[in-house]
Amino acid sequence: MKRTITALLAAVFIIALGACGETASETQQSPAPTSSAAERSSADGSSEPVSAGPGEAQEQARQEETGGTLVVYFSATGTTRGVAEKIAAVTDADVYEIKAAQEYADADLNWHDSGSRTTLEQNDKSVRPEIGSGEVSIEGYTVVYIGYPIWWGEEPRIMDTFVESHDFDGITVIPFCTSSSSGIGASGKNLAENAASGNWLDGKRFGAGVSQADIKDWIDSLR
């Protein structure tokens, strides 16, 4: 009887040890908990959204500028240049200087000489002196100031060369001139007719000593 009980107990003990072994085996073989996507990306280098670098961001954000102001001028003695530079400073404008392909010498500017170059040019409205400065595009500008000295009561013929060479559609054009005493006269009207495009405003004559403050007052009055 004792042997039977002992055998039964031994059998139970063996069965129990087997069950414990199976449980331990399952625990060791079960997969580890799944990590988060962020943890996986950090651990195995899998792709994650990457922000654009500073250069790419700037390139993507860049937008083409439109509009703006241009000051165009011709100045044989430097007087008109001084006024043009003051207008550009007030309006934060780009500047383009018209230069003659054949520069004007002092003798050419002698209005007392009936045979001087400028006298002959101004007496012939069909003359179109060649421009020697590089080409300029006025596309994209919304306002263009056009400056020149008054010669024999009118605009220098080289100004007619310039306006006839450009399309001013959609542009507000504002002439200005310099002289010792003569007014702007019909020069602005002449240029507008020769250009045959653009919205031309009345112009203004300035002396060599005009201040930047006076120019600002004039520009403000145009608005």
Q: How far apart are CA 193 and CA 202, in angstroms?
A: 13
Q: Print the domain residue range for 118.
A: 69-221
Helical pair 79-91 and 212-221, crossing angle rounded to 10 deg: 60
Mark 187-214 as b/e (b = at least 16 C-beta within 10 Å): bbebbbebbeebebeebbbbeeebeeee
Place of tokens 């421009």: 131
- What CA–CA distances, in Å, run from 148 to 2, 35, 44, 68, 173? 134, 78, 73, 21, 14
| Residue 71: Cβ within 10 Å count | 25
103 lies in a domain? yes
* pLDDT given at position 55: 43
Residue 156 · residue 185 · CB < 8 Å: no
Please give the angle made by the CA atoms of 189, 213 and 181, to the nearest 5 degrees: 45
Of 194, 134, 132, 129, the closest CA to residue 156 belongs to 129
**The pLDDT of residue 223:** 84
pLDDT one digit per residue (tens) for the chain, 223 residues:
434 334 434 444 444 434 444 333 333 333 333 333 333 333 334 333 334 444 443 333 322 344 799 999 999 999 999 999 999 999 999 999 999 999 999 999 999 999 999 999 999 999 999 999 999 999 999 999 999 999 999 999 999 999 999 999 999 999 999 998 889 999 999 999 999 999 999 999 999 999 999 999 999 999 8
Residue 61 placed within a domain: no
Q: Quick one: tokens of 120?
A: 């002959």
Structural domain includes residue 9: no
What pLDDT was estimated at residue 188? 97
- Using DSSP, state whether 40 is helix, strand or coil: helix
Give residue for tokens 């087997």: 18
Q: How many whole angstroms separate alpha carbon 100 and alpha carbon 77?
A: 13
Question: Does a structural domain hold residue 40?
Answer: no
26 assigned to some structural domain: no
For residues 62 and 103, give the distance between their C-alpha atoms in angstroms, rounded to a whole number.
42
Q: Give the CATH number, domain containing residue 215.
A: 3.40.50.360
Q: Which helix (H) or strand (E) holds 10?
A: helix 2-29
Domain membership of residue 73 (yes or no) is: yes
Residues ≥6 apart with Cβ < 8 Å to 167: 138, 197
132 part of a folded domain: yes
Residues 6+ apart with CB under 8 A from 178: 75, 79, 80, 83, 147, 148, 149, 150, 205, 206, 207, 208
CA atoms within 13 A on the CB side of 21: 6
C-alpha torsion sign, points 149, 153, 159, 161: negative
Looking at the structure of the chain, the number of domains it has is: 1
Tokens of 52: 């654009």
Asked if residue 28 belongs to a domain, the reply is: no
For the whole model, what pTM was predicted?
0.71
